[in-house]
Amino acid sequence: MNQPHLAIVGATGAVGAEMLVCLEQRNFPVGRLTLLASARSAGRTVSFRGEEIPIRELTHDSFEGVDIALFSAGGGISKEYAPSAAAAGAVVIDNSSAFRIDPDVPLVVPEINPGAVARRPHNIIANPNCTTIVSLMALKPLHDAFGLRAVIASSYQAVSGSGAQGILELEEQVRALANGDPVTPRVYPRQIAFNVIPQVDAFTDNGYTKEELKMLHESRKILGLPELKASCTCVRVPVYRSHSVSITAVFDKPVDAAAARAAYNGRPGVKVVDDPQNQRFPVPLDTTGGDDCLVGRIRENLVLDNALDLWVVGDQVRKGAALNAVQIAEIL
């Protein structure tokens, strides 16, 4: 596929905009670019490589001649329009949860399972959940070295994971509280400013949220470990961008911190920042706008055998969404 015709569905959203940034920064060979969004955005223009590209209204007929269609407009839009794009001959790379667990749709992190893109009977490839991507970037090198058996994780997720409205709500609440004004939550069930909320996505019947169960089901599929055990608590925190995850990982083989750090040597997309005595450990501001996930606080767990505790941080808009999709397009 030389100089492909690309389409971006949801081009005016935060992830769509970041996809354009990634395409430009990585010098992706775009032969033609079609930008698609809702009718209310049609007619606007977006700058790409010094050219103003018009936004077009998304319809089922928008994909004629398109080679790769990057979708980031929500699960409902993907379910309705991705089959049309695939039928028109485009390979769909979908950032929503619509197709992730479909056994006939590959779920891909390019640094982990790039070969999975080859089998795509529906011409659709799914981008994993952002928290799953960030976590697995830290876990895959350890799995390769020691054999991953179980994961216990707590995520600290930025408000940009809720889109522009999440950022706006945090900003408005901080200003209101500084002025002594009352706060009325709209996006979140409780005040997010100067607070943390142990709910990301809706609760299911077993007490876990949908976001927490994604870590289990998506990790099993990506790593090819159907018996992997995983339990996760997802927490919304008053941070603008970049998710952090505290992980306890249990392995088949004995592990120690030094061997774990060595396992990351030469692995693309992940770097170790781990010198806590000198306050060197990853924080969200370190990864915002960056491609790599950063791992630190690596230590042997004091309760479980063959287990490590670690801390990983990654930009969920970039590696957790836009960059991962562009990297899949690069494989194609």
The catalytic residue positions are 130, 243
The DSSP output letter for 76 is H
Element (H, E) at 307: strand 307-314
Alpha helix segments (H runs only) across 98-163: 130-146
Q: Is 55 exposed, middle or buried (0-12, 13-18, 19+ CB in 10 A)?
A: buried
d(CA 322, CA 72): 9
DSSP single-letter state for residue 1: -
* Backbone φ and ψ of 256, nearest 5°: -145, 165
Classify residue 214 as exposed, middle or buried by CB count within 10 Å of its CB (0-12, 13-18, 19+): buried
- Do 192 and 185 form a contact (C-beta atoms < 8 A)? yes
Q: What is the separation of C-alpha 272 from the centre of its chain, rounded to a whole number of angstroms?
A: 20
57 vs 51: CA distance, rounded Å: 19
Say whether 95 sits in a helix, a strand or coil: coil
